[in-house]
A and B are shown apart, each in its own frame.
Chain A
Amino acid sequence: MSITYLEAIRAAQERALRDDPRVYIYGQDIATFGGAFKATRNLAKEFPGRVLDAPISEDAMVGSAIGAAIEGMRPIVEMQFADFSAVAVNQIVNQAATLYWRTQVACPITIRLPSGGNPGSGPFHSQSLESLYSHFPGLVVMTPATVEDAYTMLLEAVEIDDPVIFCEHKYLYNRLKSDDLPETGLACDTARIARFGRDLTIVAYSAMVHESLAAAEQLRRDDIEVEVVDLRCVKPFDLDTVLGSVARTARLLCVGESWPWGGANSEVIASVVAHGFHLLDAPPQRINSKDTPIPFHPNLWSAHKPSSQLIAAAARRLYEW
């Protein structure tokens, strides 16, 4: 049996619906149509009345989910594209994120954001918004990089009492496959060492974990052993594991697909510099997408986002520094 990243997301939702009567899914075209990416294929048939088509208003979708959560439900909201969640930012950051802190009433909603670039998708269907949502206290922001994590972390997102922004990467949907789904996984705020190495630490998450692993393979030919840390969750993130890795390698390169200014990479680097300055033998570096809107043309898009080649070149410079 082989299961894709996208199928793992569907399977997690199926299990959540089955295990917990408080769970329901709300999103545009997700019932009969099965969702823009088919992440809810057949779930409406299997769970009548619990997989609901929403009007084309992200604002209303999240707002009603918050209300349901207050009344004891555990809604999953599907955005068609992460980019469209910008319409619901008021509900997400002003209402959901602050609710518990204002009222001691939990807000256990999960908002699924199909994120990241695909060739030819352009500025409105490619964005990675993990850095944006990480800025707001009260939100948990997950960025799974593997089929297994897509499954167990989504289940955990539904269980967590805090609002969770679940950034699932579209590029991985059908390209990433695994043999089987696990029963349980690591807790979401624990990073995973995806590859051990002595010479340099790359901290990445989501699709960039795979680009970083490919870069590590390129560098292995020159006897440069790169350690790759998969953050899994960018907020909160597992500083201990990152510091432990930097203690071994003394060099840090952060890779993320969101934009450079004030992002997840910046936060990791700032924390490492503040808590582990004495561990660093070279200035920490980061690679993000270029600081421009995302281009349509596939060639431009390839040059716009971090690639394994760019990561390998940056890692080599850092290693030789």
Chain B
Amino acid sequence: MPKVPIIMPQLGESIAEATVVRLTVNVGDQIESDQEVIEVETNKAVMSVTTPCKGLIESLTAEVNETYPVGSTLGYIEASVEDAERLNASKPPGFDQSPALDDAAASQPSPASVSQEHSSQSLEIPGSLDGTAFQSPRLKARLRELGIHPAEAGVIPGSGLAGRVTIQDFEAYLEELNRLPSKKASPMRLAVADSMRRSWTRPLATLGVSVSLEPILAHRKTLSPSPGPALYLAKAVAIALSEYPQSAGRLVGHKIVLPDSIDIGVAVEVEDGVIVPVFASLDKQPLAELPGQYKKFLQAAKEKRLPEEAKRPGIASVTNFGTLGVHWATPIPLPNETMIVGLGYGEKRPFWDEKTERFVPRLEAELTISFDHRVIDGGQSGRLVRRIMALLAAPETL
């Protein structure tokens, strides 16, 4: 009776080999076509090897716990002549030679096992078998050429070994993108994107409390020009940080680097982005002088031409997202800052007055603090927030 091999099948894309876990038949067993005879395990799942035709199990060369590359012979079936002819005719091409060479085929005997000599192990993805994280030099160079951050390539489905993104996958993805409407991103947009991405490498946490805006509103009326809530907040943050400077420390390697001056930024929305002019040594500047300076910065920011002193990095920023009608947000601090303090939309809310034992209307807003959790914890940020609240409740001390 002719023999037909039982072959380790291609069990899925990027699978080059599998380990035999169980033989479910014995030599001499009668088997049907497509019968499951060997259980194998890949790094993805347990699967079965099935018979190509019916017949008798002639031999099983596969051994349990051994790993075999795709295409290996795991055993043989004694099959009918017709089945054997049909199946053995479709085996992989033999030891071909170029048509340019005359008698090559005749003089070159076919080595039986050359095609099984290597498995994908000889071409392993560096690091681990998880190819999705791997980017080839070509892909990296192409990303750099196009100004695309490596992380963006993570959204592309990979067809390479272990799911890695090949250069062909990437070019196909680009072509797909070209079908959609697009416009050039402004330099401002790119700067904000880059800044946010760099900042997002840290574990950021946000907490918030409700604060009364009544004392600020009352105090503003005593000053001309009168500072906006953002400036009160910035000044309060500056004083609080001058008392708790370790809260504004930056983690660099194994060091906490403390600021030598309390420079606070105030986020300003401009066309297609955000600009954060910095008030130098804000803890030492009188509140009354801030509106003039702020107005100058605002104008300069709109023209995207901040003076040099307002461009130096700050130690923290404030953002008044309340002006957008937003109650609560989790803003992201700049990459070089450990925290950003936000103020939400002010509205009248009922407040329980202990003295009169009644609800009274009070103008309130949410105060948020988003911080690098590597540097400070909930307790420290809570104390900082309570100090800021106390300062906002007594604006005459600012």
- On chain A, the number of residues with a Cβ less than 8 Å from chain B's Cβ atoms is 37
Q: Is the interface of B mostly helix, strand, loop or mixed?
A: loop
Q: In the bound complex, do residue B111 and residue A176 qualify as a contact, i.e. CB atoms below 8 Å apart?
A: no
A265-B94 Cα distance, complex, nearest whole Å: 26
Residues of chain B within 8 A (CB-CB) of A214 are 96-98
| CB of A279 closer than 8 Å to a CB of B | yes
| CB of B193 closer than 8 Å to a CB of A | no
Q: In the bound complex, do residue B118 and residue A119 qualify as a contact, i.e. CB atoms below 8 Å apart?
A: no
Q: In the bound complex, do residue A277 and residue B115 qualify as a contact, i.e. CB atoms below 8 Å apart?
A: no
| CB of A321 closer than 8 Å to a CB of B | yes
Whether A279 touches B118, Cβ cut-off 8 Å, given contacts A210-B98, A214-B98, A321-B160, is no
Closest approach, in angstroms, between the C-beta of A299 and any C-beta of chain B? 5
Closest approach, in angstroms, between the C-beta of A273 and any C-beta of chain B? 9
| CB of B155 closer than 8 Å to a CB of A | no
> In the complex, which of the residues B96, B122, B136, B141 contacts A282, with contact meaning CB atoms closer than 8 Å?
B136
Q: In the bound complex, do residue B102 and residue A177 qualify as a contact, i.e. CB atoms below 8 Å apart?
A: yes
| CB of B120 closer than 8 Å to a CB of A | yes
| CB of A313 closer than 8 Å to a CB of B | yes
Total CB contacts across the A-B interface at under 8 A: 105
CB-nearest residue of chain B to A210: B98
| CB of A29 closer than 8 Å to a CB of B | no
Q: In the bound complex, do residue A298 and residue B136 qualify as a contact, i.e. CB atoms below 8 Å apart?
A: no
Residues of chain B within 8 A (CB-CB) of A283 are 123
A318-B110 Cα distance, complex, nearest whole Å: 23
Residue from B98, B104, B115, B123 having most chain A Cβ neighbours under 10 A: B98
List B158-200 residues whose CB lies under 8 Å from chain A: 160-161, 164, 166-168
Closest approach, in angstroms, between the C-beta of A76 and any C-beta of chain B? 27
List B88-111 residues whose CB lies under 8 Å from chain A: 93-98, 100-104, 107-111
Residues of chain B within 8 A (CB-CB) of A42 are none
Whether A278 touches B141, Cβ cut-off 8 Å, given contacts A210-B101, A309-B95, is yes
A211-B98 Cα distance, complex, nearest whole Å: 6
Q: In the bound complex, do residue A277 and residue B137 qualify as a contact, i.e. CB atoms below 8 Å apart?
A: yes
| CB of A83 closer than 8 Å to a CB of B | no
| 0/1 interface trace, chain A 277-321, chain B, CB 8 Å (1 if under) | 111111101000000000000110011000111100110011011
| CB of B218 closer than 8 Å to a CB of A | no
| CB of B140 closer than 8 Å to a CB of A | yes
| CB of A140 closer than 8 Å to a CB of B | no
Q: In the bound complex, do residue B123 and residue A313 qualify as a contact, i.e. CB atoms below 8 Å apart?
A: no
| CB of B211 closer than 8 Å to a CB of A | no
Q: In the bound complex, do residue A310 and residue B123 qualify as a contact, i.e. CB atoms below 8 Å apart?
A: no
Closest approach, in angstroms, between the C-beta of B245 and any C-beta of chain A? 46
Q: In the bound complex, do residue A313 and residue B100 qualify as a contact, i.e. CB atoms below 8 Å apart?
A: no
Closest approach, in angstroms, between the C-beta of B103 and any C-beta of chain A? 7
A314-B122 Cα distance, complex, nearest whole Å: 10
Closest approach, in angstroms, between the C-beta of A306 and any C-beta of chain B? 10
Report 14 cross-chain contacts, Cβ distance below 8 Å, ordered by A residue: A210-B100, A215-B96, A218-B96, A278-B140, A280-B138, A281-B136, A281-B137, A281-B139, A281-B166, A298-B108, A307-B95, A308-B97, A314-B118, A321-B120
Given A172-B101, A308-B95, 14 further pairs, Cβ under 8 A: A171-B101, A175-B102, A250-B136, A277-B137, A282-B123, A298-B108, A307-B95, A307-B111, A307-B114, A308-B98, A309-B95, A310-B115, A310-B117, A321-B123
- Can you list the 9 inter-chain pairs with the closest CB atoms, starting with the nearest? A278-B141, A303-B111, A281-B138, A210-B98, A281-B167, A214-B98, A281-B136, A175-B101, A175-B102
